Amino acid sequence: MSASAPQRRITPGDIRARKGGTPLVCLTAYTTPIARLVDAECDVVLVGDSVGMVLHGLPSTLGVTMEMMILHGQAVARGLERALMVIDMPFGSYEEGPDQAFRNAARLMAGTGAGAVKLEGGESMAETIRFLTARSIPVMAHVGLTPQAINVLGGYKVQGRGADADRVLADARAVAAAGAFSVVLEKVPATLADRITADLAIPTIGIGASSGCDGQVLVVDDMLGLFSEFRPKFVRRYAALGDGAAAAIAAYAEDVRARRFPAPEHVFGDGE
């Protein structure tokens, strides 16, 4: 029997073509085992700079480096066969201008095999997005709450309420016009997210936005309930793995202290 043909990898063009269709499923991944788990169900797997907070214990995403993103991008790439892998450009790697952004985006893609990069910012990043896409670097944009701008925004606050809605809408229009193939809408009112989704020709991917977006993304560790102390409103927990892991670790510790582990079946005899 001949080996089955490898699955076709989803492309940025495929994602763009899903506008208005079946909602896009997106999750983050930072390691090979998690990438293997999410690949079967996700259209997009995001190697997010949230890795700095989730796996490295940083207080924000601002301390994430290019080296960290490449390391985790390489790990995720080993676990994917089908989903489009998008990798975040870390803080300070693209804001200086289009030339800097191109050098670092090219480094990320060449070093990891990612199919696209994601960068934060609206109208201020339009020129950079246009520069990158003209040079064969697909860009997923990110507007609304942009965590890399946390010091300017003054916290992880909802963006686009009241008169501020026009700013977020203008940002979304600018990145779409500049050539982004999709845009993440983070922590914006549902009515505004729906308005933007109807307005744009590219897919919107919500996180704390609206079920009317063209897709949804969550940090996989939040969705799996690995960390009980972090419970943002926009996360639905589909499991409580953190509680199960804590119980398992406690049971292991108890067995070790009582000399119940290792048991005879877990050790080797002289003839083995």
Average predicted confidence (pLDDT) for the chain: 95
Q: 60-70 burial, b for 16+ CB within 10 Å, e for fewer?
A: bbbebeeebbb
Is 265 designated active site?
Answer: no
Given 41, 67, 127, 186, which residue is catalytic?
186
Indicate whether 1 pLDDT > 60: no
Continuous H helices in 86-157: 98-112, 126-133, 150-153
Secondary structure element (H or E) that encloses residue 185, with its range: strand 182-186
Confidence of residue 2 (pLDDT cuts 50, 70, 90): very low
CB 46 within 8 A of CB 29: yes
CB 75 within 8 A of CB 65: no
Q: Which residues does the annotation place in the binding site for Mg(2+)?
A: 49, 88, 120
pLDDT tens digits, 166-189: 999 999 999 999 999 999 999 999
pLDDT of residue 3: 55
Confidence of residue 194 (pLDDT cuts 50, 70, 90): very high
3-class SS of residue 168: helix
Cβ-Cβ contacts under 8 Å for 149 (sequence gap 6 or more) = 120, 121
CB 222 within 8 A of CB 232: yes
The answer to whether the bond into 98 is cis (omega within 30° of 0) is no
Nearest residue to 60 (alpha-carbon basis) of 90, 36, 15: 90
- Residue 121 DSSP class: B
pLDDT of residue 231: 77
> Rounded to an integer, what distance in angstroms lies between the CA atom of residue 101 and that of residue 46?
19
Confidence of residue 72 (pLDDT cuts 50, 70, 90): very high
Q: Which residues does the annotation place in the binding site?
A: 49-50, 88, 118, 120
State mean pLDDT over 213-241: 89
Q: Model pTM?
A: 0.94
> Rounded to an integer, what distance in angstroms lies between the CA atom of residue 234 and that of residue 244?
23
Q: Which residues does the annotation place in the binding site for 3-methyl-2-oxobutanoate?
A: 49-50, 88, 118
